[in-house]
Amino acid sequence: MGKTLVKRSYKYRFYPTVAQRMELLRTFGCVRKVYNLALEARSRAWADDRRHVNYSETSAMLTSWKKSAELAYLAEVSSVPLQQALRHLQSAFNAFFSKRSKYPRFKSKKRTRASAEYTRSAFRYSDGVLKLAKMTEPLSVVWSRPLPDGAVPSTVTVWRDSADRWFVSILVESVVEHHLPTADAVGLDAGITTLLTLSTGEKITNPKHTDRERKRLARAQRALNRKCHGSSNREKARLKVARIHSKIGDRRRDYLHKVTTRLVRENQAVVIEDLAVQNMIKNRRLAQAILDAGWSDLRSMLEYKCAWYGRELIVVDRWSPSSKTCSRCGIVVEKLPLHVREWRCRGCGARHDRDINAARNILAAGLAVSACGADVRPQQGSSPERAIGCEAGTARRESGGNPVLQG
């Protein structure tokens, strides 16, 4: 079996003292302030002079801001998280210029997760003891799982979620052994009633975590709406709502981790559809169900786990008529409404379950690309025998941590 050197983040919960809590809250506020000031300076420079401002210039600005009377408080916290905020802004602009994301936005005190990132010069870690800069006592971390033997943390990120829970994320480099090779491959069709339908015919249930807490959540939200804005009772009610949401999110991530780990362990190749989740959630009737299913998190987990463990992830074009194509003879039906869950092929007479048929077509399209290494795009006038191989849409492979390879 092969091995891969990867960067892995280990997340732990910790309980800060009163002094640590105050220091971290000040640091969070300064990080947000520096990020917003730098973004404003870069935006103004472009609007006034059509001039690009880089990281080095914003770093010099930070030095001058600390010396000013108005922003002197920036010098009271560790300088490393502030420099990291400028680096994050530079990364955001790089992503914008390469058309991978939208223009960077200002950080909001209420809507942005409060966090701070420390590099090696701003923390000390030894034998389960983690101490951050500007703090006299180590963090009271709950070490729910050990770090890899001999691992040296490169960065430590501290944040507080909306439910007032404190977490620390430790980034380390570790060696991951590949899973034993297997000849199995599986196609996945994502859904709402059923989370995943496999090309083997198996259907993985969607737990619908939000539905389990819907009554408690609705009751807590009604209580929140009755409280006066700015009152301490409203803050207590807000925390109660946030804790319910955090419980739902924890359950969803735990379930997705278990499902994706099993799929990657059992199959050498995993084939999925390139779903446009951001466009699909614009449908008000389906948005909540789609977000509760966690399709984006599912794909993200499959991507990095396949890269870690030596598996191949193949992504099939979203425009592939996987549901309307007969997986036996390749004939494509003109219309197939969503309420039709089973249908019979007019060519070969085969009776199909809509989701299982789609998963089999997704697998066939992915294997075609994996075998021939060429784009698989719809062809007008193609024969039924070529329908799956040439009408299943474009696919691409993502494996070994390499950039996405067009087939």
Element (H, E) at 393: none
Is 46's pLDDT higher than 80? yes
Average pLDDT over residues 196-223: 95
Q: Classify residue 402: in a domain, yes or no.
A: yes
pLDDT of 379 above 50 = no
Domain assignment of residue 62, yes or no:
yes
Domain finish residue from 177, 195, 216: 177
Please state the pTM of the whole predicted model.
Answer: 0.84
Q: Looking at the structure, do residues 189 and 316 belong to the same domain, yes or no?
A: yes
- Going through 239-295 in order, the beta strands assigned E by DSSP cover 269-273
Residue 359 lies in a domain: yes
Residue 367 confidence class, pLDDT cut points 50, 70, 90: confident
Q: Is residue 159 domain-shared with residue 280, that is, in the same domain?
A: no
- Assess whether pLDDT exceeds 90 at residue 399: no
Q: What is the pLDDT confidence band of residue 324, given thresholds at 50, 70 and 90? A: confident
Alpha-carbon distances of 378 from 197, 323, 364, rounded to whole Å: 24, 15, 14
What is the total residue count of the chain? 407
- What confidence score (pLDDT) does residue 405 get? 31
d(CA 114, CA 29): 8
Q: Are residues 132 and 199 in the same domain?
A: no
> Does the pLDDT at position 372 exceed 80?
no
The catalytic residues are 189, 273, 355
* Tally of structural domains, the chain: 2
Average pLDDT over residues 94-105: 96
pLDDT, residue 322, reads 86
pLDDT in tens, 269-311: 999 998 888 888 888 888 999 999 999 999 999 999 999 999 9
Residue 240 within any structural domain of the chain: no
Choose between 31 and 281: higher pLDDT. 31
Segment 379-397 shows an average pLDDT of 39
- pLDDT tens figures, 159-176: 999 999 999 999 999 888
Q: Note whether 53 and 137 are same-domain residues.
A: yes
| Residue-number span of the structural domain to which 322 is assigned | 185-206+246-406
Measured CA to CA, the distance from residue 155 to residue 150 in angstroms comes to: 15
125 and 154 both lie in a single domain: yes
pLDDT for residue 181: 87
Provide, rounded to the nearest whole percent, the portion of the chain with pLDDT above 70.
91
> What percentage of the chain exceeds 90 in pLDDT?
70
Residues 156 and 192 in one domain: no
User: Does residue 147 share a domain with residue 258?
Assistant: no
**What's residue 37's pLDDT?**
97
pLDDT at 180 over 50: yes
Is residue 276 located within the same domain as residue 161? no
In terms of domains, do 173 and 189 share one? Answer: no
Q: Residue 234: what pLDDT? A: 96
Question: 56: closest CA among 81, 101, 89?
Answer: 89
DSSP of 168-225, one letter per residue?
A: EEEEEEEEEEPPPP---EEEEEE-SSEEEEETTS-EEE---HHHHTHHHHHHHHHHHH
pLDDT confidence band for 1 (50 / 70 / 90)? low
pLDDT over 80 at 186, yes or no:
yes
pLDDT band at 341 (very low <50, low <70, confident <90, very high): confident
In a domain, 340, yes or no: yes
Q: Is the pLDDT of residue 121 over 50?
A: yes
**Nearest-10 crossing angle of helices 18-49, 55-67:** 120
pLDDT value for 244: 97
Does residue 233 sit within a domain? Answer: no
* 10 in any annotated domain: yes
Question: Contact, 322 vs 377, CB < 8 A?
Answer: no
Residues 141 and 252 occupy one common structural domain: no
Are 62 and 118 in the same domain? Answer: yes
User: Are residues 97 and 200 part of one domain?
Assistant: no
User: Where does a domain end: 128, 157, 177?
Assistant: 177
Q: In the predicted model, is pLDDT for residue 384 greater than 50?
A: no
In this prediction, residue 41 has a pLDDT band, given cuts at 50, 70 and 90, of very high
- In this structure, what token pair is assigned to residue 100? 């991978």
Retrieve residue 385's tokens: 């025998």
Q: What is the pLDDT of residue 398?
A: 53
Residue 227 is assigned to a structural domain of this protein: no
- Kindly report the average pLDDT of the chain as a whole number: 89
Of 46, 70, 74, residue with least CA distance to 59? 74
Is the model's pLDDT at 19 over the cut of 70?
A: yes
The conformational region for residue 64 under phi > 0 = left, psi -120 to 50 = alpha, else beta, is alpha
